[in-house]
A and B are shown apart, each in its own frame.
Chain A
Amino acid sequence: MKIVVLVKQVPDSGAERSLRADDNTVDRATANNVINEMDEYAIEEALRLKEAHGGEVVILTMGPDKATDSIRKALSMGPDAAVHVVDDALHGSCAIATSKVLAAALAQQNADLIIAGAESTDGRVQVLPHMLAERLGIAALTGARKLTVDGSTLTVERQTDEGYEVVTASTPAVVSVWDTINDPRYPSFKGIMAAKKKPVQTLSLADLGVAASEVGLDGATSAVLEHGKRPPRTGGNTVEDSGDGGVKLVEFLATEKFV
């Protein structure tokens, strides 16, 4: 089975993040960039499937030069190879353009299974997996907390607000996973060393046959008009509990008419 895992490099969600003042895009230059956390679960799931069923795991990333760090880190967990779509014209691409580019890259891969994270922490868009399925004309089983593969039949438990849905499809398909699906492994020292030698193919827009005018800021289908920091909350009052903290809490709730 050939599995392609979609890995995005994002600014660390544990640190201050911002949009650039000049073109309103995510500031990736000053950020501490890491693998989108949910994608580590996607990599882990792919590796487990390879261990159980054999095959090959390939990482696919669209991102700037810097994304190489995340690709090597992903490879150090165990995948066999990576494809890196990198082109200056991609800067500022919207989700729709990103899906066009990734779909073109996936069309060259002939994967049985494409695994993605359920969402990225920078945009929280949660749309890429279905956009790709729409473009490729294949099934999308998204929001999985459990994935079972039996020959060409895929079954997932899709997390919903009410509980879960059991959804089935045949390969080829896109599956997106939540962090409830597994516990990602840590790269071993051997894995880190091996990753340095694994093949990473870089592709430009020309290699994919996508026109520069369809992507980037020029090809974007939406635009950020303005942005600013949310003003910090002020006026809060904190009291030390000296035996009546519970009563004071309820007094506050009562003045706000919650009780």
Chain B
Amino acid sequence: MAEVLVVVDSTGGEPKKVSLELLTLARNLGSPSAVVFGPADSLVAKLGEYGAEKVYVADSADVTDFLVAPKATVLASLVGQVQPAAVLIASTQEGKEIAGRLAVKLDNGLLVEAVDVAADGTATQVAFAGGTIVKSKVTKGIPLVAVRPNSVTPAPAPANPSVEAVTVAIEEKDKLAKVVERVAEKKGSRPELTEASIVVSGGRGVGNADNFKLVEEFADLVGGAVGASRAAVDAGFYPHQFQVGQTGKTVSPQLYVALGISGAIQHRAGMQTSKTIVAVNKDNEAPIFELADFGVVGDLFKVVPQALDEIRKRK
């Protein structure tokens, strides 16, 4: 069975959930081979648990100290060597950028923002604020597909991967953008927004930055991540990296809680594919209610504290 290259993303020495999702998907297309940039020791066991038959490791300062370009060069070389059936990567900023460079190098088609990939490489994509569903195919080269986090449920399929170091000469032209510092901005112990299975978001209706504590409290009680609408971010209630929507993050959790959010089309663009949506809004005509599986028309400052008490009671 031909190999399928799966580009691994990791954080704190663990593969991100999206990488396990990609391995799960890859099994439909061939034999999954994980590709790790940077140290892989702490990742191999988990990647094997989710079906990686092989782990390619490109761990050198030339690859990790520069932005994107060296990673695409390593992948291009691997594709030449392995002749994979497909390449799967996360549809995140960096994932799409790596894929973009790889596509140019190989003169190969590229599909991004996929939510599924069939055995024949056909991808399902969600377009235009989640309102349109598209099936598409790479027509030149192999399926090179960037898949959104939270699109499939990761399923274990234990394998015992062989680990292979990859050394590819990185030329000067790939070392033009140097990463001099990586800064983590604290978000407590909450899960990553795009990977979380529950997201609790606040909008302009939350009123001010201080009140966002209520949103955080809700998120922490249910083990979720915090999100915000653009109006809330623009008003300075919450930092931009938590913005959900057209110009922010796309999330697809099991549960999305919208508090004081009207549900403008650009906000829906980032959360419409959530499995279950609940909303609290005092305006019964707010468009968010068109999406909500359960909505409460009321003042969030009354409804949310009561809900939090009720959750605590049930714990």
Q: Which residues of A contact B (CB under 8 A)?
A: 13-19, 37-38, 94-96, 99, 118, 121-131, 133-135, 137-143, 145, 158-170, 173, 178-180, 220-230, 232-233, 235-241, 244-250, 252-254, 256, 258-259
Contacts and interface: CB of A to CB of B under 8 A. Distances in A.
B296 A249 contact: yes
Contact of B240 (A14, A123, A129, A159): A159
A137 B291 CA distance: 46
A133 B198 CA distance: 37
B166 interface: no
Given A222-B139, A233-B293, A253 B255 contact: yes
Contacts of A229: 131-133
5 smallest beta-carbon distances between A and B, as pairs: A241-B298, A246-B306, A127-B100, A221-B109, A139-B176
A250 B310 contact: yes
A222 B69 CA distance: 23
Nearest to B12: A162
Given A121-B246, A228-B133, A246 B307 contact: yes
Nearest to A164: B183
Given A19-B127, A169-B176, A246-B302, A221 B280 contact: no
B202 to A, nearest CB: 15
Interface in B185-199: 185, 192-194, 198
B307 A134 contact: no
A37 B248 CA distance: 13
B160 interface: no
Contact of A168 (B108, B109, B180): B180
Contacts of B129: 13, 17
B135 A259 contact: no
B176 A173 contact: yes
Contacts of A126: 93, 96-97, 100, 112
Nearest to A219: B140
B131 A17 contact: yes
Contact of B307 (A142, A162, A224, A250): A250
A125 B112 contact: yes
A207 B69 CA distance: 30
A220 B136 CA distance: 12
Contact of A131 (B100, B183, B266, B298): B100
Contact of A239 (B99, B137, B173, B296): B296
A165 B65 CA distance: 11
A254 B314 contact: yes
A127 B132 contact: no
B179 interface: yes
Nearest to A240: B297
Nearest to B138: A222
Contacts of A179: 247
25 contacts: A13-B246, A15-B265, A17-B132, A18-B128, A99-B104, A121-B247, A127-B110, A133-B101, A133-B176, A134-B72, A140-B69, A141-B67, A160-B93, A166-B181, A167-B178, A168-B177, A221-B109, A225-B122, A233-B291, A245-B307, A246-B296, A246-B305, A248-B296, A249-B303, A250-B311
B59 to A, nearest CB: 19
Contacts of B280: 245, 249
B309 interface: yes
Contacts of A127: 96-97, 99-100, 103, 110, 112
Contacts of B278: 249, 252-253
Contacts of A14: 264-266
B289 interface: yes
B128 A17 contact: yes
Contacts of B264: 14
Contact of A256 (B67, B255, B309, B311): B255
